[in-house]
Structure formats: C-alpha cells, structure tokens
Amino acid sequence: SGQKVCYGDLKHSCYKLAYFQDLSRRVGFQEARQACEIDGGALLSLESETEQQLIENMLQNLTKSGSGISDGDFWIGLWRSSDGLATSSPCPDLYQWADGSISPFRNWYTDEPSCGSEACVVMYHQPTANPGLGGPYLYQWNDDRCNMKHNFICKYGLGIFPMVPAGNPYDTSKPEDQYHVIATETGIIPNLIYVVIPTIPLLLLILVAFGTCCFQMLHKSKGRTKTSPNQSTLWISKTPRKDSSMEV
C-alpha cells in the first residue's frame, strides 16, 4: 500500500503513506493504528511545522505521480478518548497523540475540531474539492468519526514509544530537498525476503551434503551390482581345461 521513506537528518526518520485507491480497502482509525503498530511504527504524530511540511511534500509527490490518485484523507495519530470527557478542559485540549508524543503542535482547519462524536483526526487530502472558508481541503486537520474509512500515515523511529493504550474512542459506532531520502518497499513479500535470505547458506550446505550422500550411496550400489551376479561362480573356469589324465 505504499513505500517507507526515510529522512536521515530527523529523529523520527521514516514515514509511510498507506494510500488505497480502492475505497473498500480504506480503514477506520483503530484499524489504521493497529496496522502501523504491527508494521513496527505508529500512526503519525507531528512535532513541528517543519515535519508538517515534509508530510505535505510527500503528499504532493503522491498527487503528482500520475497514477490516478484521487481524493482521500489520511488518518494521523491524534485523537481523544472517552476518558477525557469527565474533565472540564476545552475539547481541543483533550486530543492526544497515540504514540505518546507530547507535542503541542496543531494544524486545524478553520472551525475545527468540531468535537461531538468526532474524536479521531485526519489530515485533509482532497485536491479536487472546492475550497471552503479555510481554503483548500489540503493538509490541514479535521476531526472525524473514528469508524470512517480513510487512508493513513505511519511513522517509524526510536522516539515513538511508549505507546498510549488504545482505549475506546468517544464514538466507536459510528523542505524535502535538504534531506537524504531513502525509499524501501514494505509489505509481506519484502519482510519474507528478510527472513529467507539469511537461511540460504544453510540451505545450500544441506543440499550439498545431501547430494554427496546420494552420490556415495549410488556409487556403492553400482559396485555391488557389478560383482554380485558372478560371485558364486568365480571358482569355476569358463573354458574347461582338458584333464591330462584323460588323454590316451
């Protein structure tokens, strides 16, 4: 569903845009969160305007790829759980990062978050939509119902742990050029390759040993086959000699 892109100069150095052109494959917030964690990362947390700009650049490159990329927002790791409802804090202050980050950085679209039953946050990515009061629906944030289906962005690095327990969402029903970039394919097949490749020398060694044993057994079998039929008649001459005592 995407590539892992690493920026060597950042503490949190790798990201993956999980984009699904097939709408039926897009997922809810908790599914996206679990997918990132299974892959060794976490849903995206953003710590600064600089990091926000990096993600925007990645999304712009996705749009420019010419592969039929359509509108589709991306889940990020900001959300509020039902635990915060008992407090008197304003709703926008109740949002927290799923990876445990305490970053205060926010990039809300105008009049967001709307709160209510919308407890999980997406980054807008609707390049074909008409602009609203806050401008184009691109890259700014919006709270949405956690069961809505969207793309998502994973983040990988040493600083993303410890994880915040998943808990229950409020409503469960409903400047890139300056960095050295390394892109690596991710998914089931590449991960399987990482497991198989280290075992190749051992497999070759086993194959050679097996072949040697088979060759030796075959060689011995041929030797026995050549000698066994005549072993019982080796003492009998094939050309009987005339007994001198029989001569007259």
Q: CB atoms < 10 A from the CB of 6, how many?
A: 18
pLDDT of residue 180: 32
- Backbone φ and ψ of 77, nearest 5°: -85, 25
pLDDT of residue 169: 46
pLDDT of residue 186: 39
3-class DSSP assignment, residue 219: helix
Residues 6+ apart with CB under 8 A from 40: 156
CA dihedral 33, 39, 41, 44 (to 10 degrees): -50
For 84-150, the DSSP string reads: GGGS-S-GGGG-EETT--------BPTT----TT--EEEEEE-TTSPPBTTBSSEEEEEEE-TTS-B
Tell whether 213 is covered by a domain.
no
pLDDT of residue 235: 37
Tell whether 215 is covered by a domain.
no
CATH code: domain of residue 52: 3.10.100.10
pLDDT of residue 199: 61
Structural domain span for residue 72: 4-83+90-160
pLDDT of residue 82: 72
| Contact predicate 110/81, CB 8 Å | no
pLDDT of residue 198: 57
Question: What's the number of domains the chain is made of?
Answer: 1
pTM beyond 0.85? no
Q: CB atoms < 10 A from the CB of 188, how many?
A: 7
Q: What residues does 166 pair with on adjacent strands?
A: none
Tell whether 188 is covered by a domain.
no
The series of mean pLDDT values per 10 residues for the chain, 248 residues long, is 72 84 94 96 95 93 68 96 71 93 96 92 94 94 97 82 46 37 39 49 76 76 53 42 46
